[in-house]
Amino acid sequence: MKPLEELIDNSETGWNLVKNWINEGKNNIEIIPSTFANANEALYKTQVTTRSPMGAIIYHTGGILVDHGWIRILGSGSERLNRNLPDWNEGKSYYQTGEKPSFLLIADDVIGGFFMLNGGALGNDLGKVYYFAPDSLEFEPLEINYSEFLLFCFNNNLNEFYQNLRWENWQEDATRISNDKVFSFYPFLWTEEGKHINKIHREEIPIEEQYFFNLKSRKQLGLD
pLDDT over threshold 90, residue 11: no
pLDDT score, position 97: 80
Distance of CA 151 to the CA centre of its chain: 14
In a domain, 123, yes or no: yes
pLDDT in tens, 62-83: 999 999 999 999 999 999 999 9
Per-residue CA distances from 210 to 33, 132, 184 (Å): 26, 12, 7
CATH code of the domain in which 128 resides: 3.40.1580
In a domain, 210, yes or no: no
In a domain, 153, yes or no: yes
Contact 106, 161 (CB under 8 A): no
Contact 56, 92 (CB under 8 A): no
CA nearest to 26, candidates 74, 66, 54: 66
In a domain, 142, yes or no: yes
pLDDT in tens, 147-172: 999 999 999 999 999 999 999 999 99
In a domain, 183, yes or no: no
In a domain, 139, yes or no: yes
Q: Say how many CA atoms lie within 13 Å of 15 toward its Cβ.
A: 17
Going by C-beta distance under 8 Å and a sequence separation of 6 or more, which residues neighbour residue 106?
Answer: 54, 73, 74, 85, 115, 116, 117, 129, 146, 149
In a domain, 178, yes or no: no
How much is the mean pLDDT over the chain? 97
pLDDT score, position 99: 87
Residues above pLDDT 90, as percent of the chain: 96
pLDDT in tens, 113-149: 999 999 999 999 999 999 999 999 999 999 999 999 9
Number of domains in the chain: 1
Domain limits at 90?
A: 4-158
In a domain, 209, yes or no: no
pLDDT over threshold 90, residue 98: no
CA nearest to 86, candidates 185, 182, 7: 7
